[in-house]
Structures are given as C-alpha cells and as structure tokens.
A and B are shown apart, each in its own frame.
Chain A
C-alpha cells in the first residue's frame, strides 16, 4: 500500500497508508491528520484540504486541473506547489509522497 506522508506546520510527520484509487485527502481524513479539514468531503468545492507538494514530488503528482485552480482562489497563501489534496489520486507511483499541511486551512 502506498505511503503518504503529511508534514504538519510544526514539522512533525504523519505517515499514512493509502490504497491506489483513493485521494490524498481521503488518506488524511482516514488517519485524522490535523489540518486537513475537507469540509465538502471531496467535491472540490471548499479548498479546505490545501497542501503544498514537496519539490521532489511535484512532477510525479502533476499539475492542477481547471476546477481546482478556480477553487484555490478560496485558499490562503497559495504557492506554486499548492494543490487540493482531494484532487490528487493515489497511485503506486506516489508511494512515499510528501506533502506539507498549511498552519491553518481557514
């Protein structure tokens, strides 16, 4: 099972096990990762599952989709490596993925 690692704002790390096909947001919620609120439950409608993808993983994770780009308008401190974790599908290629959780979603 692919491992997804969430790096909290204080630097602590939470390793979660995911199943290919689920989203990075779902992996976080399943493991109750603090800072991933996911208010809308994965509909790309709230921007409360915002994460920063670590530089070495950006290429494998890929680019934002158009709907996600719009929704990021509702996130705070959006950076080049910002993604909504409900829009990242877990695959075996993402085993070991590291993403940073913002200090506060909102």
Chain B
C-alpha cells in the first residue's frame, strides 16, 4: 500500500463546487487533494449533461457542462491541487484534535486538517436492474465491474447493454470467457463505432453471440446463476445459459458512504450552518448539492457562494491564532501573486 498522503484539505467530489473550493481555499494558502469516483472532473456536468447548455451562471449567459468544468479547472490551476479519480472515499475518521483520516476503495490513505464534502448527489454508482432476486447473485454471478478479469476465466458470460461500458467489457472479456453473449434491447448501439465494429467482427467469426432482447428473470441456486430468461421485442421468450452476468444500464447517484461518517443528515443531505457551511463535525464542511439548510437551492451559483464562506472558516480552523484580512483579487497584490498574474 502506498504511503499516507498528507495535505491541508481533502475535497470529496470534483464537480463544479469541489473545483471552485480549490480556488477559494487556494487563495487562503490551503492546499488540496481532490477525490472523485468518476474518471474525470466535472461531476454531474461531465457525466449527465456535458453538452447541455446551462443558463444561470452569473455573467455567463450560456455555457455547457463540459465548458464550465474546463473553465473551473483553468481557474483552479494556479493552486496545483492533486486529483485522484476512480476512487470512492469509503471511510472518514477524526484522528486527534486536528487531523482527519480518509481511505478510498482503491487503497489510498489521506491525512488532512479539514475535509470538504462536495459530493453532489452522492457517488455515481452502476444502476442495478430491478430483476427480481438479483441481489442474491451479486458478487458471485452478477458483477457491475471487476478489478481482476481473471475471475471470469472459463465462465459463460452474459453482458447486457449497448453503451461503451457494455461493449468494452464484451471485447475485453471475450478472450477470457468460455462463452460470451452480448444482449441488448435493439440492434443499434450508442457505444463508440470502433467498438461496435469489433464486436460485430467477433460475432461474424463465431467467437461470441449477439442477442436482441431484455432480461426478465434470472435462474440459479445459492447465488450461482445458471441462466437468464430473455424476452425478444416480438414477445418470444428464450433462455441464455450463463454463470456470470454484467448488466450495464448507466450510472445513478447514491449517497453512499457519506451516510456512515457520523454527520448530521436531513433527508439524506448533510446539514450545515449558513455562516460557515460546516457540518455537525467541526473541520468537516459540505458545499453544493449535498448540503442542506433553510432556503437551500440546488444551484451551481449557490455552491460557489458556499465555497467562499467555507474557505474563510476553514482558514480559521487550520490557523486558529491568525487574523484573516479580507482581500479582493482585483486589488490585492498578494492574491494576484498566488494566481500567478502579478
């Protein structure tokens, strides 16, 4: 396991509010590491609506989610935050008077002085199809991802879906699996054309099967799958023999481990005060869609305001004896130096 990473602040979530928190904390000399479960920054702006225009960012009449993310990254750049993608924070503990300890599902460990929860709607996690009884098979025969593909060697694999995840796993698992079937509800795929072409070649070479239809039922015993019942568009029902199933129906947001960190929650949101945006645990802050307070609006612009106030209190928490003189970026040479524009 790698060494414990020591830093001033850990920001959980690289969405717009997490990214702007880097900026606001950076102006006060607080150095950040940022952890996100996705493989890229932007949170919902990247994952849900990269091409959709946003109309309510002050002074920017129209900007896409992808562009907003790119601009926030640029704005935060002088502060050299370090990003850790594809990582979910699994535990967060207070250690001693002034230190928090965090771990991720990828085995990273952090020690920091303050934590900013900017986790939006929670972690993006694979959608679990509501096939009756599917829970019993999860982990044994039903997988949403695996870190080691070897465990699929020699198995009869059924992949369900038509997007990039489904096609990528199909192409990667085909050489390892004993047999591989790709099931999709229509004979059209939204995955990258190259992957679709590769899949069709494998089908033409007899190396895998492509089936059009939807899973309605799973058959098996004691957590071990033996077949999936598939309904075609014309209503005909058939069975696909398989002992490993990969359903790919996109991602959904779940609060996830945040619920276990001892923070006061209100309807699955983290309760904060509106002066400091601090949670019920001093030193842990929450900004953006994940927090709640009287009058809360889930707007990106509100999250930006929250980040600015949060940073002030974070400074006092880290430097209890120091006075903080409020400064403007337009006139302060010291702030301009930090931004690299002076």
Contact = CB atoms under 8 A, between A and B. Distances in A.
A106 B249 contact: yes
Nearest to B54: A43
A62 B77 CA distance: 48
B48 interface: yes
B128 interface: yes
Nearest to B190: A70
A73 B166 CA distance: 11
Interface residues of A, number: 18
A3 B131 CA distance: 32
A104 B131 CA distance: 10
A39 B253 contact: yes
B252 A106 contact: yes
Contacts of A45: 48-49, 52
Would you call the interface of chain B mostly helix, strand, loop, or mixed?
loop
Interface string B286-326: 00000000000000000000000000000000000000000
Nearest to B49: A43
Give the interface residue-count category, chain B.
20 to 34
A76 B253 contact: no
Contacts of A76: 129-131, 214, 249
Contacts of B131: 76
Given A43-B48, A43-B49, A73 B127 contact: no
Nearest to A103: B130
Interface in B190-243: 190, 214, 216
A61 to B, nearest CB: 20
A51 B21 CA distance: 38
Nearest to B162: A73
Contact of B252 (A48, A73, A77, A103): A48
Interface string A32-61: 000000011001011110000000000000
A98 B299 CA distance: 32
B33 interface: no
Interface in A7-29: none
Contacts of A72: 185
B48 A73 contact: no
A63 interface: no
A55 B185 CA distance: 21
Interface in B26-58: 44, 48-49, 52
B256 interface: no
A78 B121 contact: no
Contact of B250 (A43, A47, A78, A104): A47
A39 B121 contact: yes
Contacts of B49: 40, 43, 45
A32 to B, nearest CB: 13
Interface in B75-102: none
Interface string B238-277: 0000000000011011000000000000000000000000
Contacts of B127: 74, 106
Interface in A50-100: 70, 72-78
29 contacts: A39-B48, A39-B121, A39-B253, A40-B48, A40-B49, A43-B48, A43-B49, A45-B48, A45-B49, A46-B48, A46-B250, A46-B252, A47-B249, A47-B250, A70-B190, A72-B185, A73-B184, A73-B250, A74-B249, A74-B250, A76-B129, A76-B214, A76-B249, A78-B185, A103-B130, A106-B128, A106-B129, A106-B249, A106-B252
Given A39-B121, A103-B130, 12 more contacts: A46-B48, A72-B185, A73-B163, A73-B186, A73-B250, A74-B250, A75-B249, A76-B131, A77-B216, A104-B130, A106-B128, A106-B129
Interface of A: 39-40, 43, 45-48, 70, 72-78, 103-104, 106
In the complex, the 8 A-B pairs of residues with the closest C-beta atoms, listed nearest first: A74-B250, A104-B130, A43-B49, A45-B48, A106-B127, A40-B48, A70-B190, A73-B162
